[in-house]
Chains A and B, each alone.
Chain A
Amino acid sequence: MYLAQLSKMLPESPDAIFSKMHQVKDWEASLKDWPLAHWVNTYFAYIEIVHFMGLFIFSASVIVTCLRLIGVGLTNEPVSVVEKNTRWFLHIGVVLAIGSGLLMGVGNADKLYNSQIFTVKMIAMIAGLIFSYCVMVPVAKAEGQAGGLAKLGMVIAMALWLLALVTFSITPTANVGIFHILWGGALILFIALQGKTRWVYAIGLLALILPWQVITHVFIREDLDAAKYMVVNKAFMYLTGAWITGLSLYNIFGKAAPTGSNAFARMTAYATILVWVTVGAGGRWIGLS
């Protein structure tokens, strides 16, 4: 019975689906004639400032709560207290970022509709919202313990994030943006690791970054041999990614840190920060690609 009801809701044929898609395309094409689109394009710079402020404001909540979940930063307070005190940053920041983002979308509808990297950003944004509201917040409220909702949210958001990452990495002219996500991970790890491990990690990272920069700017350059350059870039991306991921996993599944920090909480923290970095990197590369 349910299947019968469901089938009624689905389009009758592939042609019907394409017809709907054409309607979306027509609607998108009409957006540029809206008075709102003209207004947005006049004040675009200032709307973008609001967008950035939104990102900065909710990053205050995400970064501080997530670092506490990892076991660094405000360790004198329980995770739930940190989450409670930064909750409004998350709400206000998300509302500002999404509200201004929608306006920016109206002003640039044509460009965004045809942008693969915009799709990446949207998938990552959905993953980011799930990570933030369905995983990070409940886990923080429960002092690092994961309930059913958090576990389900983790699975769905992680799958979406991986989809966004894979799409990002195969998007021509934008895939170099993956490095932003790596640097985000590198920075978290530098803060999260303690003692000697931190310095071993930092030296290892420099030992990868310096040769990569020298090789790709002196010996195998993009303007002289683009094919080889891409191979070298990818090789260093995998090496750096392996180094950062390996040590992140060591940090996540290693010995327990302060109260409120456990493997699931730390995994939540890393993923939540990095998924928002993916959203930011996607936004940056919409403009560049």
Chain B
Amino acid sequence: MLHQTLAAHSVLNDFFEWVQFHFGEHSTHYGRSFSAALHEALNAWGLLEGTHLLTLMLFFGTIALVDTRLLGWTFRKTPISVLSEKLLPLTVTAMIIAMITGPMLFFAKPQDYYHNFWFRLKMVLLVVAIANVYIFHKVVQKNQAEWDTAETPPLKARLSGALSLLSWVLVMSCGRLIAYNFLECGKPHSAFINFTQECATSPLGAVTQADYDKQLADEKKAADAAAAPPPAMPSMPDMPDAKTAAPAGAVKPEAK
């Protein structure tokens, strides 16, 4: 059956459902949860969303320059350490603000985001990007003094820069795609998408293309059945034709 929620249990799904729909419902007007109240709060929502986007621009703007320096594309005459030292405070400031506003935005619709493919991919890519930063500091930077002023840094530094740039571009892209609902649970998707979004535990359920095709076929069948003309009544030769038969006692009009 379409839109059928499977019995699979997800603790996180239940928790986010409680947060999105019930947390704080007795403390707000109209019995809305805190999440719903935040999402509908024009000023607070605008402040959060706007600040998140602005800080992401600052974050990406500064980190992209460091990454392209590692790739040997920009500031080739500037030592990498100097560039990092000057730009990193801005990057970190932006990151801290984005790390505060991001979870607050998530709080507005936690269950929806939890079952959102792009949100999940963004989180995975975020982990990749952060792991790359960690590896850069622990491994790649070990002998930075040897190539700090090199116009084209060694391969491992260039690889780290490329991975960083790519992962942040993808993180930002996934962030934007979260707003689109074409991969929403409850719509027909491949088994892979249904699995990665845990649609089976979402309120909209998991729908495969086969389910959807079957439902369309059933609906078509039902519509065809409804549109078909009713079966003809069996004819009764003994009965006079209602249109031509004159009522009893009526006088036929004379022909003129």
Determine if B60 and A59 form an interchain contact, defined as CB atoms under 8 angstroms apart.
Answer: yes
Task: Give Cα distance in the complex from A73 to B93, angstroms.
Answer: 12
Residues of B contacting A60 in the complex (Cβ-Cβ under 8 angstroms): 60-62, 64-65
Residues of A contacting B87 in the complex (Cβ-Cβ under 8 angstroms): 64, 73-74
Q: Of the candidates B29, B61, B78, B90, which one forms a contact with A59 in the assembled complex, judged by CB atoms under 8 Å apart?
A: B61
Task: Give Cα distance in the complex from A4 to B39, angstroms.
Answer: 60
Task: Give Cα distance in the complex from A213 to B42, angstroms.
Answer: 10
Q: Does A55 contact B (CB under 8 A)?
A: yes
Residues of A contacting B180 in the complex (Cβ-Cβ under 8 angstroms): 45
* 0 or 1 for each of A167-186: is its CB under 8 Å from B? (1 = yes): 00000000011011001100
* 0 or 1 for each of A188-230: is its CB under 8 Å from B? (1 = yes): 0011000000000000000001001100110001111000000
Residues of A contacting B50 in the complex (Cβ-Cβ under 8 angstroms): 179-180, 183, 281, 284
Q: Does B57 contact A (CB under 8 A)?
A: yes
Task: Give Cα distance in the complex from A74 to B93, angstroms.
Answer: 15
Q: What total of A-B pairs shows CB separation below 8 Å?
A: 111
Task: Give Cα distance in the complex from A217 to B62, angstroms.
Answer: 35
Contact surface of A with B, Cβ cutoff 8 Å? 45, 48-49, 52-53, 55-57, 59-64, 67, 73-77, 81, 85-86, 88-89, 176-177, 179-180, 183-184, 187, 190-191, 209, 212-213, 216-217, 221-224, 233, 277, 280-281, 284
Residues of A contacting B61 in the complex (Cβ-Cβ under 8 angstroms): 56, 59-64
Residues of B in contact (CB 8 Å), total 39
Q: Of the candidates B44, B62, B172, B173, which one forms a contact with A63 in the assembled complex, judged by CB atoms under 8 Å apart?
A: B62
**Interface SS of chain A: helix, strand, loop or mixed?**
helix
Q: Does B177 contact A (CB under 8 A)?
A: yes
Residues of A contacting B51 in the complex (Cβ-Cβ under 8 angstroms): 183, 187
A128 to chain B, nearest CB (A): 14
Quick one: closest B residue to A224, CB to CB?
Answer: B29
Residues of A contacting B55 in the complex (Cβ-Cβ under 8 angstroms): 187
